[in-house]
Structure 1
Amino acid sequence: MREMISLLSEAMNRIHDAMQSWVGVAMSDKELHFFVVGMIGMLTFFALFVLVKIIQQLKFSTTIIAFIFAFILMVVFVFAIEIQQAVTQSGNMEFADAVAGLWGFIVFFIVYAVIAGAFYGLFKFLRWGKRSTSNRKPKKARKKKSRPVQSAVYEEPKDEELKVEEQEPIKYRSDLRK
């Protein structure tokens, strides 16, 4: 793990020197980080934007995006633990420990995915079985009766409308539909 961090820091030093000679202006570390992290962040954003748009078209898009997000957080968490072990000397800082931790997350997620997939498949199978055993005919779409549009403005009833005509009492519910 220490060797890996040493290699990464050496690579960053070389990039730092190359950028300063390429731009031709001596930049402080803050200015260099501003540009490098800004550019890498935007490239990452655009790549992830395209990836998420593709994932949205898939059936379990929320699960896939949640897994990717959780995996990224686990990578940060695992390396933070390893760096903390190096700083406090409470353990050995090894890359193999980080890989083992990430494998733990992947294995637990696979177990979850298998169990969730089994429940999902069972649910779909039971719903499919109910549909195929029923001998119901498909319902015909009912035509909605158009109702007269009522005005939102209150109008006084005319004398003719005040007269109530005698009607036969309604005996059956089917009479209401007439």
Structure 2
Amino acid sequence: MESVLKVLAYIINWVHDFVIGITKVFGFNATDKDLHFWLLGMTGLIIFIITDFLFRRISRWNISVVSFIYTMTLLLVIAFSLEIEQKITGRGNMEFEDIVAGLWGFLAIFGAYALIRATFYYARKLYNKF
């Protein structure tokens, strides 16, 4: 897990230095705060446009699909946060496998929930038919 974070940090730092170099070449002497403002602002807008388009299409099937995607995304952030917190405080081990295990736990428990929900749905449908 620590090595994955180090690689990601290296990539982010390289992109950061590259963008600063480009802005200096074009005479746009941006501060670190300016870069965060523009890069995260544009990245956020691009992500919003893509997810808005996809979620509008997906919601035609069932809004629960959108809820599931949102929940998985939030759990991913929480899982990474927990592992980083463990590394910072030294309480527990920071391991990528912990994140995977936590997400598999959600998928397994959600699968059971979906199965129970589908059983009740089809049982009610069958009951109303007769």
User: Are 1:70 and 2:71 matched, yes or no?
Assistant: yes
Return 5+ residue gaps in structure 1 as ranges: 130-178
Equivalenced residue count is: 127
Aligned positions of 1:52-131 closer than 5 A: 52-58=55-61, 61-129=62-130
Deviation at 1:128, TM superposition (A): 1.7
Aligned positions of 1:19-58 closer than 5 A: 19-24=19-24, 25-58=28-61
Equivalents in 2 of 1:16, 1:22: separation in Å?
10
Q: Relative contact order (C-alpha < 8 Å, sep 6+): which is higher? A: 2
* Superimposed CA distance per residue, residues 26-50 of structure 1 (whole angstroms, 9 cap, x where no aligned partner): 4322211111111111111011101
User: Are 1:8 and 2:11 matched, yes or no?
Assistant: no
- Given residue 34 of structure 2, which amino acid in structure 1 is its aligned partner? E
Return 5+ residue gaps in structure 2 as ranges: none
* Superimposed CA distance per residue, residues 114-168 of structure 1 (whole angstroms, 9 cap, x where no aligned partner): 1101111111111122xxxxxxxxxxxxxxxxxxxxxxxxxxxxxxxxxxxxxxx
What is the TM-score when the length of structure 1 is the normalising length?
Answer: 0.68
- Given residue 75 of structure 1, which amino acid in structure 2 is its aligned partner? L
Runs of 4+ in 1 over 3 A off after TM superposition: none
What is the TM-score when the length of structure 2 is the normalising length?
Answer: 0.91
Deviation at 1:64, TM superposition (A): 1.0
Give the fraction of aligned pairs with identical amino acids, expressed as a percent: 35
Structure ranking higher in helix proportion: 2
C-alpha RMSD over aligned residues: 1.2
For the pair shown, the structure with the greater C-alpha radius of gyration is 1
